[in-house]
């Protein structure tokens, strides 16, 4: 993604592009997998945790990132690949490896539909499978 694309990505989500916001979008786009605030901090170096957290919270409000809880109190963030600014249409299953602590996007696995009781309306389904990834199993 070019710098121009990052700017228009922010603008299309109603977010004013600032240096920090552009930097974080660029980093998320290049990493291609969900990362924690700590991992972002490590790869950015110029930004502290609270600035990163503020930007991510803003992104989430504008549906520019998804957040995924790994179940160990760590939240990971990834760029939303949906072009819609209202709601997400790029739901997918995540796999959390308990050995290498990577969170992997499984785009080819269908998201199971969980039936909800009458009178409820499901807006979003988060599926996280925990286990050992292929890379770790081969070691």
97 counts as binding Zn ion under rule CB under 5 A: yes
Residue number, 48 or 110, with CB nearest to Zn ion: 110
Residues in contact with Zn ion, shown as a per-residue x/- string from 115 to 134 under the rule CB under 5 A: ------------------x-
CB of 39 to Zn ion, least distance (A): 14
79 binds Zn ion (CB under 5 A): no
C-alpha torsion sign, points 38, 107, 30, 7: negative
Asked if 76 and 95 touch (Cβ cutoff 8 Å), the reply is no
Q: Which of residues 2-41 bind Zn ion (CB under 5 A)?
A: none
Q: CA-to-CA distance for 8 and 27, rounded, in angstroms?
A: 16
> What number of chain residues touch Zn ion (CB under 5 A)?
7
Query: Judged by CB under 5 A, does residue 75 bind Zn ion?
Result: no
Write the DSSP string, 29-52: HHH-S-EEHHHHHHHH-SS-HHHH
């Amino acid at each position: 993604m070019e710098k121009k694309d990052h700017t228009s990505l922010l603008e299309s989500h109603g977010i004013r592009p600032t240096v920090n916001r552009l930097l974080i979008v660029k980093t998320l786009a290049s990493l291609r997998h969900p990362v924690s605030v700590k991992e972002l901090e490590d790869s950015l170096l110029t930004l502290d945790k609270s600035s990163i957290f503020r930007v991510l919270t803003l992104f989430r409000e504008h549906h520019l990132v998804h957040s995924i809880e790994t179940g160990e109190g760590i939240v990971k963030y990834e760029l939303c690949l949906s072009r819609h600014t209202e709601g997400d249409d790029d739901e997918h299953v995540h796999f959390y490896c308990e050995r290498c602590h990577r969170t992997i996007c499984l785009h080819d696995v269908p998201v199971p539909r969980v039936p909800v009781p009458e009178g409820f309306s499901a807006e979003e389904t988060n599926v996280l499978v925990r286990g050992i990834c292929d890379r770790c199993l081969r070691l």
